[in-house]
Copies of this chain bind each other. A is one copy, B any other.
Amino acid sequence: MIISSGAFVSDNGRLRGENVAGSVRRLKDLPGLFMDDTAYRSMDPEQIVYEVQLHNSCGSAEGGLLFGTSTVTPGKVGREYFMTKGHFHEIRNRAEYYWGISGKGVLVTMDERRQASTVRIEPGSLHYIPGHAAHRIVNIGDCPLVVGACWLADAGYDYDLLAKEGFSVRIVEENGAPAIWSNK
C-alpha cells in the first residue's frame, strides 16, 4: 500500500497535517517595530499583523531543513505597511529560499554593514536570501501576502541585532504607492 503524505500545503499557503505548528504576531506583540508610535497606539492591539506556519520534522539538526509559510495581513501603521519583524540567522552563513504564493509584497534584505536591498514579491517569484542577510517581508497590497520558505534547520534566529537599529529602510505609502524611505 502506498500511504498518503503526512503534510500538505493548500493553494492559499496554509499548512496542515503532521509536524505543523503555527504562531501569530499581533500589533501588541510588535512594540517599536513601526515608526509612527502615535498611529500604533491608536490601533486595535489584537489586530493580527502576520502568521507563520512551520513544518518541522527534524528539530534543529545539522543537515536538516525547515519549511514554512508566512501570511502578512494587508494594512498599515500610519503610512508604513504591515511587515514581519525580520531576522538574521544565528549561524550567519545559513541561506533561505522565499517564493511568492499570493498577494503583493516586498522582500527587504540587509547585510551586516546595513546595506539594504528591496525586491518585489508576487505569485511565482523566487528569492534566494544568502547568508549574512537579514530578511523581512512587507505587504504592499490589498490582500494577504503569502510567502513560502525553506531554510536550514540549524540556522537559528537573531532578532537582537535588529532590535536596536532596525532595518536601514522602511516601506511606506507615498502618493498612493509604495516608496523606500531611508532609516539611518
- Contacts A10-B124, A65-B97, A97-B65 given; does A119 touch B5 at CB 8 Å: yes
Nearest CB in chain B to that of A89: its residue? B63
Stretch at the interface among A32-40, A43-51, A127-135, A158-166: A127-135
Stretch at the interface among A21-29, A54-62, A72-80: A54-62
The count of residues in chain A whose C-beta lies closer than 8 Å to any C-beta of chain B is 49
Copies in the complex: 2
The reply to whether the CB of A118 lies closer than 8 angstroms to some CB of chain B is yes
How far is it, in angstroms, between the C-alpha of A7 and the C-alpha of B131 when the chains are bound?
19
How far is it, in angstroms, between the C-alpha of A3 and the C-alpha of B150 when the chains are bound?
22
The reply to whether the CB of A115 lies closer than 8 angstroms to some CB of chain B is no
The reply to whether the CB of A157 lies closer than 8 angstroms to some CB of chain B is no
The reply to whether the CB of A30 lies closer than 8 angstroms to some CB of chain B is no
Pick from B9, B91, B97: contact of A124, CB below 8 A: B9
- Contacts A64-B95, A150-B150 given; does A58 touch B124 at CB 8 Å: no
User: In the complex, given contacts A3-B118, A4-B119, what are 11 additional A-B residue pairs having Cβ atoms less than 8 angstroms apart?
Assistant: A2-B106, A3-B120, A5-B121, A7-B125, A7-B126, A11-B124, A17-B126, A61-B93, A61-B131, A65-B152, A150-B150
